Amino acid sequence: MRSHGGRVRAIETGEVHIDIAFIGAPTCDEYGNCRPNGGKSDCGVLSYAMADAQYADKVVAITDCLVPFPNIPASISMTNVDYVCVVDAIGNPDKIATGAAKPTTDVRKIMMADYCTQFVINTPSLPICFSYQTGVGGASIASTISLGKIMEERGIQMGLGLGGITTPMCELLEKGLIRTLVDTQDFDQGAIESIKKNPNHIEISASEYANPFNKGAYVNKLDFVILASLEVDVDFNCNVVVGSDGVITGAQGGHPDTAAGAKCTIVIAPLLQGRIPAICTNVTTVTTPGETVDVVITDYGIAINPRRQDLIECMKDVNLPFCTIEELRDKAYAMVGEPEPVQFGERIVGIIEGRDGTVMDVVREIKEYCFE
């Protein structure tokens, strides 16, 4: 299992060989020039398919909107496409807006978002044209909205907004609060419409975004990244792949890439996920190493990684509920108790790769539980 940057690195270095790539194209001409917009199934960008098109032995563009030649500017060029296949429908764009990408009304998440905003604006290194990326969880989106209000009040402009894009980021662009949005994935209809009409909303490839082996990735220019996590342990390691029941629930996405590249990585997580402590002694699976995580924000307090003594020093006089990561774990365990660890067998069902290809951890098959 690889991150966004790790996947494209593996393709470009030849570690992963693609025999044939099937690429959904909202519009395509008879020669294979593919664009993500202009049809009936627009998706905004084709960033993650670019490496597949470039390196696969054979490439099939699948479209439900064949347009006259030339379909330019093309995200995927005809020089990389072998076949064009026309179908009735390649998907339903109305389903792009997932539950995670919608603004939250959860008071707890809004409170964590406010903590996050207050932390960001109190960092002395906050530049006038800072760079910023946020995830698509409810608290992360709320933090973008909260930060936007303060930027407007103080006349601060974000120089670069990066990553998977949602409507709140596009609204800041429209207001002139962001100079440039650099896009690798659109999570809702507002983002798709924005990249169609705003020349400062730019599509880039996944390699440009996060490949650690190329000559320069955008994630390395981030000042702040706001992320979420299923679990965080006392060493600040994050787990975003395996649930508390030991079942794989998702993938790394750009989590390890942005955490490694950003000057300040902030992870927002509630103290408890249901009745399960999100702050714990050891995460079930390490997907993002703690050495790349600087701050953990919960609904019961904020912990700064001891590695970041500069942040600890500058926050001494800031009125926020700071504590240690161990204190957060102890609060969680005091509320619901320390959960019994999931019992795993010997069979490995998943390998968690670091963005550079090193093995971070493995996921093992859950051992069948037996009642005594």
Q: Are 163 and 209 in contact (CB under 8 A)?
A: yes
Mutual angle of helices 138-154 and 167-174, in 10-degree steps: 10
DSSP tag of 223: S
Rg (CA), the chain: 21
Alpha helices in the chain (DSSP H): 4-12, 50-55, 107-121, 138-154, 167-174, 189-197, 206-210, 255-261, 309-314, 325-336
> What is the pLDDT, as a whole number, of residue 125?
65
Query: Tokens 């406010």 appear where?
Result: 114
Q: For the chain, how long is the longest CA-to-CA vector? A: 69
Same fold, 4-95 and 105-336: yes
**Residue 176 structure tokens:** 């002139």
How many Cβ atoms from other residues are within 10 Å of residue 92's Cβ? 9
What CATH number is given for 4-95 in this structure? Answer: 3.40.1080.10
> What is the pLDDT, as a whole number, of residue 368?
78
What separation in angstroms does the CA of 98 have from each of 11, 47, 56, 132, 188? 28, 19, 30, 22, 7
Domain ranges of the chain: 4-95, 105-336
Per-position pLDDT tens, the chain of length 372: 999 999 999 999 999 999 999 999 999 999 999 999 999 999 999 999 999 999 999 999 999 999 999 999 999 999 999 999 999 999 887 776 554 456 678 899 999 999 999 999 999 767 778 999 998 778 888 899 999 999 999 888 999 999 889 999 999 999 999 999 999 999 988 999 999 999 999 999 999 999 999 999 999 999 999 999 999 999 999 999 999 888 999 899 999 999 999 999 999 999 998 889 999 999 999 999 999 999 999 999 999 999 999 999 999 999 999 999 999 999 999 999 998 888 899 999 999 999 999 999 999 999 876 666
DSSP assignment of 93-121: GGG-S-GGGSPP--HHHHHHHHHHHHHHH
Cβ-proximal residues to 155 (8 Å cutoff; 6+ apart), any chain: none
Q: Are 140 and 111 in contact (CB under 8 A)?
A: no
CATH of 105-336, one of 3.40.1080.10, 3.40.50.300, 3.40.50.10490, 3.40.605.10: 3.40.1080.10
Cβ-proximal residues to 218 (8 Å cutoff; 6+ apart), any chain: 160, 162, 182, 204, 208, 209, 210
The three-class DSSP label of residue 241 is coil
CA geometry: angle 109, 110, 111, nearest 5 deg:
90
